[in-house]
Amino acid sequence: MLSVHTSPLDQPGTGDAGGMNVYVLELARALADRGARVEIFTRATSSDLPETVVLPGTDADGEPLDTTVDVDRVREVLTAEVVEPGVTPPVLVHHVPAGPFERLDKNDLPGVLCGMAAGVLRWEAARRPGWYDVVHSHYWLSGQVGAIAADRWEVPLVHTAHTLAKVKNATLAPGDQPEPAARVLGEEQVVADADALVASTPAEATELVELYGADPARVHVVEPGVDLARFAPVPDEERAAARRSLGLPADRDVVLFAGRVQALKAPDVLVHALGVLRATGRPVPLLVVLGGPSGRSTAVRELEALAEVAGVGDSVLVRPPAPRDELPTWYHAADVVAMPSRSESFGLVAAEAQAAGVPVVAAAVGGLRTIVDDGVSGVLVRGHDPRRWADVLADVLADRDRLRAFSSGARRAAERFGWDAAADQLLKVYAIAREPA
């Protein structure tokens, strides 16, 4: 797998790290559970990073396969001609030096793709011929590198876009910068080169065909998964305990926004909506923004300043992104999770929140229209008018019976998604891509 611009080991919710990071890591683990040997290549952003990080697998008896426990056994599993039945191979994450050791802006990364491709090819040169069976690239930058590697190794290229420039440019927030023409051209090249294209939703599949001219026969819809065990509903007393542990008020409605603070994710719409509620004399919930700046280092400070101008500075609480193990606690502490995104290819936060039994109020865009069952697991809001968002939030929060019904519906909606099912479908896509033309 290739994830050039962001490592699956990075903390989602800030910089360029988001749902794609979770997608790559969880999918890799689910594929390994099925006996696939998965190696992930990402750009090294620090000289302190190890060349390779080994994510432990298990042997046929379910015992951990960890380099800190049994180096020889791990090497045997990783180099064997065939993986033994019942064995889960470790997942390898390789940090490839390409360009300066710093987090370059995504617009600067095309300049280091040649170096990234050379680094990836060097890894294969150390393997026996035919070691890799398929290249799966994530995001268009990885697709550029993947096309070179797949051609050199004579294996198929499978590509997942995650976001598409033409879609983002059609739904820009006021004042936001459009994606550059170089990205549009790069995406068109990858779509043309890939042997198989993986779309997260039927809507994205249609966009690939209609906006990029993709061959419909090469487009496969594979819905991402959600960790249904980690994100699960809890009783009311545990929800109250979650609030206490996070220092949130027990007697006030809480709306949670979890994601990068950037124009694309539109947390400003929620701040403006709170301003509308205050101006019209209605109860103002506490908005918790769980995320860091993306695109501009000042994004969080700008959002906090907007809250002061809107007269709701006392109702907006910004906290840094939460580690994966802590994220369920934040979901359980919320009455509603809000996603006013301008564009969203899938919307993993919505799936996770619903799995935790939390209703979602989301913009009726992209993959959110697939995840959120409007009127059953939450509400889909058309447009980004703060007055409309204020009305929807007020109506939902005021009706506790409706919230409880949404909570039950949310879990049912989330149970459609699972990483096991996603991995099974991806293996079928890989097999199709490998079939002779």
Q: Show binding-site residues for UDP-N-acetyl-alpha-D-glucosamine.
A: 11-12, 19, 260, 265, 344, 352
Instruction: Report the distance separating Cα 294 and Cα 260, nearest Å.
Output: 6
Q: Show binding-site residues for Mg(2+).
A: 331-332, 334
Q: Show binding-site residues.
A: 5, 11-12, 16-21, 106, 139, 163, 183, 260, 265, 331-332, 334, 344, 352
Q: Where are the alpha helices (DSSP H) in 64-174?
A: 71-79, 113-125, 140-153, 165-170
Q: Which two tokens stand for residue 374?
A: 């409007």
Q: Show binding-site residues for 1D-myo-inositol 3-phosphate.
A: 5, 16-21, 106, 139, 163, 183
Sequential pLDDT tens for the chain (437 residues):
999 988 888 877 666 767 888 899 999 999 999 999 999 999 998 888 899 888 888 877 777 777 666 677 777 777 777 788 888 888 999 999 998 887 777 788 999 999 999 999 988 777 767 789 999 999 999 999 999 999 999 999 999 999 999 999 998 888 788 999 999 999 999 999 999 999 999 999 999 999 999 999 999 999 998 999 999 999 999 999 999 999 999 999 999 999 989 998 999 999 999 999 999 999 999 999 999 888 788 999 999 999 999 999 999 999 998 988 899 999 999 999 999 999 888 889 999 999 999 999 999 998 899 999 999 999 999 999 999 999 999 999 999 999 999 999 999 999 988 899 999 999 999 999 999 87
**209 dihedral zone (left: phi>0; alpha: psi -120 to 50; beta):** alpha
Instruction: Report the distance separating Cα 150 and Cα 206, nearest Å.
Output: 25
pLDDT of residue 17: 65
Instruction: Walk me through the domains of the chain, giving residue ranges and CATH numbers.
Output: 19-225+419-434 (3.40.50.2000), 236-414 (3.40.50.2000)
pLDDT of residue 78: 75
CA neighbor of 392 nearest in space, from 379, 375, 374: 379
DSSP 346-406: S-HHHHHHHHTT--EEEES-TTHHHHS-BTTTEEEE-S--HHHHHHHHHHHHH-HHHHHHH
